[in-house]
Amino acid sequence: MTRTLLIGVQVLDPDAGPATAALETVGGRISWVGSAADARDRARSGEPVEVHTYDGGVVAPAFVDAHVHATASGLLVDGLDLAGARSPRDVLDAVAARAAARPGAVIWGHGWEENRWSPARPPARAELDRAAGGVPVYLSRIDVHSALASSALLDRAAAAVGAPGWSADGPLSADAHHHVRRAALAAIDRTQRRAAQQAFLADAAARGVAVVHECAGPDISGRDDLADLLALGTGVEVVGYWGEPVATAAQARGLLAATGARGLAGDLFVDGSLGSRTAALRAPYADAPGCTGNRYLDAATIGTHLAACSAAGVQAGFHVIGDAAADLVLDGLADAARAVSPAVVRAARHRLEHLEMVDPDQAARLAGLGVVASVQPAFDAAWGGPSGMYAARLGPARAATMNPFATLHTAGVTLAFGSDSPVTPVDPWGTVRAAATHTNPASAIGPDVALGAHTAGGYRAAGTDDPAAGRLVAGAPASYTVWDGVGPLDGVTATARCLRTVHRGRVLFEAATGR
């Protein structure tokens, strides 16, 4: 078995002292951690050893991104990235340029955000049709809970017309959006899909991510999409979730077997998003009087799903953003606990995605039932603060309570960090920094806690029992990254550069070779 020594300037682990600057791996496991001086002695011990010295480098656990959409993210490698658009005209010009460059090809794009524009309105469908020259166009909003669709795409998604969320001229949301998204994905052939998935996983590895949690489901991707992703074998570990409700334990086991998923969780939508005004709220949106968002599941359905999965020993979970959606999930959890017992519910380690609006009492109830919070600190960095999208949608007082990481952590809820890519980019150190520098200091957590949430927390969220997973300790899996530009955790900068990513002893990325 290959014996490898890594020597840097610091090993980032909760138990590592300031002099801990090296580690040794054998056979896919960490066999030793200690000082650089001791490492050099071990290198001279006479046993064959492969030594890697990184002057100024920091060794950290490999990151886990606990919420991604691989195909949609990978399609942006060759698609239209509209995050930089600043007006409807920018979007239309980008569509027209792509249509001219690739006549007849389906146009897939993502990232427009009209609240940042002047005028603050998305293009009308007739404008999109003219720019596209009659080809199918799918352009998801930054939150992927609404999209612009051309008439040519709607010809392939007739069920969208008149469905909930339908608009004759503007963006489509809810069921209408789900119909056009399925049609857009159906226009992507298997070769394109696999290329997109491979591109995303390669990019993730180059950013220090060794494990991703794919949040799949009938309303966001498809079974073929998930099956292809799980079969790739790139070395980046894919933990698949399938968001579809069940009513019995037998159905839960059957659906798990049919999809190859780890659990029936992820993007099983209780509500939508704040940006598209489809997150379920107790009180109306500040910028849309009378609107309280969408409720896709009721408490009874949520409770039935949780009880069935709990009884089957299957991890369940939901997409939940608004405070009204959190109320529904807590009611469902209470129903499930009564049906199968609190202990059985706790044992399943159910997870909630996003969970942006919870109070201390709710956090304590979630902790008591063993629920994991899969959250995205970059959301606060992108949309928090007094002038951000949250404040526009909710008003300053409600916006200040968003993404309460400290509340959840204090209550004892396991935190797992992710990007929700392509909603926000895969950027592990940026995520750690966002959690530690929350726009509301009362919701911030320490950088060491944040690092743990983006490493060990991801394993806990996937139901892993190995206490060493995500750690840099003797006996742990050899899953680590080496970085340049990372100093003390409280001084993490945007200049961090990944030099090496290894998962269970397999090198996934090496900066020297570019792969």
- Here the CATH number for the domain that contains residue 138 is 3.10.310.70
Mean pLDDT across the chain: 95
Band (87; pLDDT cuts 50, 70, 90) = very high
Q: What is the pLDDT of residue 44?
A: 87
Mean pLDDT along residues 436-463: 96
Nearest residue to 273 (alpha-carbon basis) of 116, 408, 142? 142
Q: Contact 515/203 with Cβ under 8 angstroms?
A: no
Query: What confidence category does residue 55 fall into, taking pLDDT thresholds of 50, 70 and 90?
Result: confident
The predicted model gives 4-21 an average pLDDT of 89
Q: Are residues 429 and 478 in the same domain?
A: no
The type of residue at 283 is A
Q: Which domain holds residue 130?
A: 75-186
- The tally of domains found in the chain comes to 3
Which residues, at least 6 apart from 75, have a Cβ–Cβ distance to it below 8 Å?
108, 110, 188, 192, 196
Domain identity same for 46 and 142: no
In this predicted structure, the answer to whether residue 247 has a pLDDT above a threshold of 80 is yes
Determine, yes or no, domain membership for 87.
yes
Is the pLDDT score of 18 beyond 90?
no
Rounded Cα distance, 377 and 445, in Å: 11
Return the pLDDT at 160. Answer: 96
Residues 44 and 122 in one domain: no
In a domain, 157, yes or no: yes
Average pLDDT over residues 387-393: 97
- pTM here? 0.95
| 308 pLDDT above the threshold of 60 | yes
Residue 462 backbone zone (phi > 0: left; psi -120 to 50: alpha; other: beta): alpha
Eight-state DSSP code of residue 233: -
Across the range 308-324, mean pLDDT stands at 98
**How much is the pLDDT for 16?**
86
Report pLDDT digits (tens) over 129-187: 999 999 999 999 999 999 999 999 999 999 999 999 999 999 999 999 999 999 999 99
Same structural domain, 53 and 81: no
228 domain-assigned: no
* Structural contact between residues 138 and 107, judged by C-beta atoms closer than 8 angstroms: yes
Domain membership flag for residue 456: yes
What CATH number should be reported for the domain holding residue 285? Answer: 3.20.20.140
Whether the pLDDT of residue 488 is over 80: the answer is: no
The structure tokens listed for 449 are 């806690």
Least confident of 53-57, 395-399, 496-500: 53-57
* Confidence band for 395, pLDDT divided at 50, 70 and 90: very high
Q: Check pLDDT > 60 for residue 490.
A: no
pLDDT at 83: 93
Residue 204 lies in a domain: no
Residues 6+ apart with CB under 8 A from 51: 4, 5, 7, 43
- Is 487's pLDDT higher than 70? no
My answer on whether 454 and 480 are in the same domain is no
Residue at 154 is within a domain:
yes
pLDDT in tens, 346-364: 999 999 999 999 999 999 9
Q: Which residues contact 44 (CB under 8 A, 6 or more apart)?
A: none
Q: Are residues 53 and 92 in the same domain?
A: no
CA atoms 52, 56, 62, 67: torsion sign: negative
pLDDT at residue 492 tops 70: no
Whole-angstrom distance, CA of residue 346 vs CA of residue 318: 16
Looking only at the bridges linking them, the beta strands covering 58-61 and 480-484 are antiparallel
